[in-house]
Every structure is written in C-alpha cells, then in structure tokens.
Structure 1
Amino acid sequence: AMTSSNNVYSFLELSGADKSNSFTNWSAAALAVDGIQATNFGIYVFSLKTSGFAGHDYLNIQNNLLPEGTFAVAYGTSSSGKTYSTAFTNAGMRDSPPPPRAVPEPMPLMLICLGLFGIAYLTKRKIA
C-alpha cells in the first residue's frame, strides 16, 4: 500500500516520471470529491507489452468494477529509453455518481389561483 511518504512512480521504483501523483494529492482529491479519508492506496499494475502502440495513440480501458476513489495513471518508455508518465492533473479518478436530483412539483394552489384569475379576467372582458 502506498502511504504518505510516496508518489506512485517512486513507490513502483520507476525512474524519470512525474512526481505529482503523490499520496498527498490523491488523498486530498478523494476527500474533496468523494469524502473518502484515505490512509493508504493499494497499487495495482497492469502491464501492456505491445508493438505498434506509439506516442499520441489512444488506449481506452473500461472497467466498471473499480471502487470509488480509484486513480488511473500510466507510465511508459520508448525504445530509445525516454519515459512518459501521467501528471496528477491528467490522472483519471473514478468518483461516485452524483445523487439524483429531486424534481420540484408545481405548486397546486398557485396554479389554481392563476387559473381562476384568468377565468375572471376573460369573463370581465366579455361583459364589458
């Protein structure tokens, strides 16, 4: 588990990566967005070894089983040894869906009054 003294890439012993994916940033975001008071983060690694995947290519991984407060980041190296990593500001976070909004009901008394005033106005107009 990653704790307060780490950023995710140092925790995984990956060099040359952005250090902004830290416990401090993640825990602050989890608290602000979902109200989660995190004491540590479990780190899970998925390794993709593929040829033909290059810089600026798009990779979409969908998994609805991730718990709330999960952050998704990436790290990669080119064949020449250049490293690429996700900054905290671009990390994906799975947060809880917003609660459904209550739909306000129309005020029945107001509608009845408006209807009566409308009828009275039309009736007075026809008489005059």
Structure 2
Amino acid sequence: MKRVTGIGGIFFKSKDPKALTDWYASHLGVPIGEHGEVMFQWRGAEHPAEEGVTVWAPFPEDTDYFEPTKAAFMVNYRVDDLDALLEALKAEGVEIDPKREDFDYGRFAWIIDPEGNRIELWEPPKGQQTA
C-alpha cells in the first residue's frame, strides 16, 4: 500500500487572510479563488489524463480548524487508500482523530505527529491524481 503520495495542500493562519491573498495575487500573480484559496493544478507523469490539485490557503488566525494543536500551519497529504492507511497507523500507535469527513472532492481524516502537529490526510476521488 502506498501511504502519502504527495502534498494536497498547505494551510496556515493569517492575521488578515484577504489582505495576504491580495498581496500574493498582486505581487506573485497567484490566482486566488472565490474563497481565498489557490488551486495549483497539475498532471502526473504516470497518469497524464488525470488532473491533480494542490491547495494553498490562509485561514483566520483564530481558526479552530487546526485544533487540538496550536500550530500556525497544517499540511494536507494526498493518500491512495485512507481506510487502509488509518488501520496501519492505528496499529503503529499513531494518534488518530476520530473525526472523518466525506465530500464529492474526497475523504478526509486527521492525525497528530509526535510534536503535536495536526496532519490532514486526503483521499481524492477515484480518477483524480494522487501521485
């Protein structure tokens, strides 16, 4: 089983997400989406017909999305088989948040690394690049 196949997103806290995204758009040409996110689209070498995406998004500095950690960032990793990976991580003693979310754009779960950082795991829908 493949575990992590790539970075699905970089999320971080910001004092003023709107001003920050405007700065990135103005000075670096980053294409900001409707909700202040950036969707970097790409295609993998193994499956060039399938599209992949890496998300970049600032969150308000008072967000509770990264809890229970107080870290200013969270990395989202793409995975091939979320359920199998979670079972393997459980057997290895990794701290796993019981919360799960399922959307048309994929399935999500969260774990905590040994330093207390929250990590988001994302299994994209079949047909969307994960590697």
Larger Rg: 1
Normalised to the residue count of structure 2, the TM-score between the two structures is 0.28
- More strand, by proportion: 2
Normalised to the residue count of structure 1, the TM-score between the two structures is 0.29
Q: Which has the higher contact order (CA 8 A, sep 6+)?
A: 2
- More helix, by proportion: 1
